[in-house]
Structure 1
């Protein structure tokens, strides 16, 4: 028995050596994958929440607001949809923009209003709250269906809802009875 106790004990690798030798992805690879997956989920969730209410609300607002809506209105434009937001792109005629109201041009991401007879204004159609597209103009305000923000047709200022800032102005030109992006 004394002889067995004198034999050397075989070496066991340290815990850190065992971890390095273990097959499979390292800690950094796992963390990078988890971070990327979480970021993808967050971006998808943010994008989906803004788009879904807009799509559902556009049907509701077109029946409620009538001809002041523009989701279908921009299809009536002469080539405006194919030109996008280019300067000089014809948006509408002055007769198409109701006095005290307006019209949203979804393809160009702009809303044109006529606060008083012969006075035309244009604003970005992206709500300053979450970037949803505004859908209608009624009762002197531009309406966003996502979270019920409302903006003045005169200056784009916030009239209600959670929007933190006014709608930015968009330059337009009125030449005769034609309204175009400047």
Structure 2
């Protein structure tokens, strides 16, 4: 009987460890990059990582560089998952920033596709120009976030 109990415990421990490994690998993101006019998804682009003004966690602090203007495609945007912010460039030289948390159910924004900021949970879409809802079920726009552009650097305000 004791051998059966130990065998069952070993099976449960193995299954638990395997499930944990699967969950960890599923949660670890990468960097997806697509062409101009669509999203670049990034935890922190190389240009920002090499710039002063980042905290020990790697997230830019207010005043720290988030990206270079060249990192944000015209007519599209870039998602910064770690900072929970989406930076867009609706027209050349015009930069906007919005929360990367959907106003419908609080899901993280998944991508920028052309002129739409897209939430993968329920397919809500928001305009890159002003964060307005273009497709529901979300009913409220994405809140604007403060950024400033100095030279070729985009910084959190």
TM-score by shorter chain over 0.5: yes
Equivalences for residues 24-173 of structure 1 within 5 A: 62=32, 66=34, 68-70=39-41, 72-76=42-46, 77-78=48-49, 80=54, 82-84=57-59, 86-173=61-148
Deviations 1:53-102 (A, max 9, x none): xx68x78xx4xx725231x4525332657353631121100000000000
The total of aligned residue pairs comes to 124
Question: What is the TM-score of this pair, normalised by structure 2?
Answer: 0.70
CA RMSD of aligned residues (A): 2.5
Return the alpha-carbon distance in structure 2 between the equivalents of residues 85 and 135 of structure 1.
20
Return the alpha-carbon distance in structure 2 between the equivalents of residues 126 and 108 of structure 1.
11
SS of match in other structure, 1:95 = helix
Native 8 Å contact 2:43 2:82 kept in 1:
no
- Structure ranking higher in helix proportion: 1
Native 8 Å contact 1:157 1:166 kept in 2:
yes
Deviations 1:123-158 (A, max 9, x none): 000000111111211120101101100000000000
SS of match in other structure, 1:103 = strand
Gaps of 5+ in 2: 1-22
- Deviant stretches of 4+, over 2 Å: 79-86
SS of match in other structure, 2:62 = coil
- Structure ranking higher in strand proportion: 2
